[in-house]
Structure 1
Amino acid sequence: MPKFLIQAAYTPEGTKGLLEEGAGGRRAAVDEVVTGLGGTVEAMYFAFGEDDLMCIVDFPDPVSMAAVSLRVKASGALRTRATALLTVEEIDEAARRQVSFRPPGA
């Protein structure tokens, strides 16, 4: 299953909701949306600084991740970015593939 790192920053309205609902309530909401699309939450951490929340999730396909991303961004409560995570074995496989590429100006 494809794995993603989600980094998020709460907007002021989202932060108000977090204060009212608590971290446990947000974890339950994340679990619900991810499992509802056939995925799993591997880890979820709150932080302070540029990002307020970090999750590692598995989804059956990238389209499921895109669906969640669109819905969350549309809420206006969070600014998010998702990064596809690859295993060591996947990078080794990618390195073995032949790719024909000409750099600009070459």
Structure 2
Amino acid sequence: MPMYLSKFSYTPETWARLIGHPEDRRTAAQTYIESVGGTLHGFWYAFGAHDGYTLWEAPDNVSMAVVALALSAGGAIGSLETTVLLTVDETIDALHRAALVTYRAPGEEQPAG
């Protein structure tokens, strides 16, 4: 199954609620991804541009989008960015296949042929 890295930031209101009633949000995140047949592999809070990071596994991009849309619509998260992760083997395969693509940069002439 594909892996996904999500970066999220809570709204100030969400932080205020968590300060008033601290809770471990890993359980909620696990429930969301399991509802589409996926697995939560990690959940971390951070300092910096984003409040936290999650590592998910989901059956496909649509399943991950379902979770991302539901989380975004819930109102507690101010921003959510999800990146599809490739394995090393998938990347090696892509590198081999990229060699078969003929690329022409903007402004370059078409090769004769």
Q: Normalising by structure 1, report the TM-score.
A: 0.90
Tell me the CA shift for residue 100 of structure 1. Answer: 2.7
Give, in whole Å, the separation in 1 of the partners of 2:105 and 2:61. 29
| Residue identity in the other structure for 2:22 | G
4+ residue segments displaced more than 6 Å: none
The corresponding residue for 2:86 is 86
Uncovered stretches (5+) of structure 2, i.e. residues with no partner: 109-113
2:63 match: 64
Equivalent runs, 1:1-106 vs 2, <5 Å: 1-24=1-24, 26-78=25-77, 79-97=79-97, 98-106=100-108
1:42–1:104 Cα change, 3 Å: same
- The CA distance in 1 between the partners of 2:23 and 2:86, in whole Å, is 28
User: Which residue identity is paired with 2:102?
Assistant: S
Q: Which one has a larger percent helix, Structure 1 or Structure 2?
A: 1
Identity %: 39
Deviations 1:24-51 (A, max 9, x none): 1x11110000111100011111112211
Aligned pair count reads 105
**Normalization by structure 2: what TM-score?**
0.85
RMSD: 1.3
Which structure 1 segments of 5+ residues have no match? Answer: none
Q: Distance in 1 between matches of 2:89 and 2:14?
A: 38
Q: CA deviation at 1:82?
A: 0.3
- CA–CA distance in structure 2, aligned partners of residues 104 and 21 of structure 1: 55
